[in-house]
Structure 1
Amino acid sequence: MHHKIIKGVVITVAATATLLLAAGAAHAAPPVPPPATYDLATVINHLRWWVCGIIGTVATLFLTIGGVRYMMAQGDPSEMERAKGSFKSAGIGYALALLSPVLMTILSSIVQV
C-alpha cells in the first residue's frame, strides 16, 4: 500500500515537471497603443449624447418616484403635492434632454469660432 502512494506521488511530480518544462517561457502581450485623441467637435458630439442620456435617466427616475408617491398617497394632499412636484421635475428633465442637443450645438459653434 505504501509503495502505491509513493508511486502515485512520483508520477504526479514527474507529470507536473514535464508540463511546466514543455510550456516554455511566458511572453508578455505587446503594449497597448494609447487611446485615440479626438478633436473638439467630436468630444462635444460625444458629450451631447452623454448629457441627453444622463438627463433622460434622471427624468425617468423622477417620473417613477412621482408615480409611486401618487399611488401611495391614499388621498393625503401633501403627498399628492409631492408627487405632482416629482412629475413637474420629470417634465423639466425631459424638456432639457430634448433641448440638450440644441444647447450643445450652440456651445460647439461658440467654442469653434
Structure 2
Amino acid sequence: MRRLRQIIAAAAVPLTLTVVLLVRAIAADAAVPGAAPKDLPTVIGNITAWLVGLLVSLATLFLTIGFIRMLLAGGDPGEVAKGKEALKNAALGYAGAILAPVLVKILQSFVGG
C-alpha cells in the first residue's frame, strides 16, 4: 500500500501538468470556432504550438515512467538504469520543446518569412 501511494504521488504532478497543457491547447483552438488561418505564419505558429504540446506531453510521460521505474526497482541496478534512461529521454524531450519555437524562427529567417 505504501508503494502504491509513492507511485501515485510521483505520477500526480507530471500527469496534472500534462492535462493542464492539453486543456489549455484545446481551449486556445476552441476560442475561434471555424476560423481558417489567413496566412502562412499563422499556420506555422499553430503547427509549432501543437509540436511543443506534443513534445511536452511525451516528455512528461517519460518522466513519469522513469520515476515509477526507479520507485519499483527494489534495488535492481538494471531497473534503476532503465529509469535513469527514461529520465534522460524526458530531459531531451523538454529541451526539444523549448528549442522548437527557436528552430522555427531560424528556419523562417532562412526562407524569408
Length-normalised TM-score, structure 2: 0.65
Moved more, 84-93 or 36-45: 36-45
Residue 29 of structure 1 corresponds to none
Partner residue in 2 for 1:45:
45
1:98 and 1:44 mapped to 2: Cα distance? 16
**Largest Rg, 1 or 2:** 1
| Alignment partners' CA distance in 1, 2:108 and 2:38 | 14
Partner of 1:25: none
Structure 2 stretches of 5 or more lacking a match? 1-33
Instruction: List per-residue Cα deviations over 1:18-42 (Å, max 9, x = no partner).
Output: xxxxxxxxxxxxxxxx852431111
- What does residue 79 of structure 1 align with? 79
**Unmatched 5+ stretches in structure 1:** 1-33
How many residues are paired up? 80
The percentage of counterpart residues that share the same residue type is 46
User: RMSD in angstroms over aligned alpha carbons?
Assistant: 1.5
Match of 2:66 in 1: 66
State TM-score, norm by structure 1: 0.65
Higher helix share: 2
Q: What is the CA-CA distance between 1:65 and the residue it aligns to?
A: 0.2
Mapped to 2, the partners of 1:37 and 1:43 lie a distance apart of 6
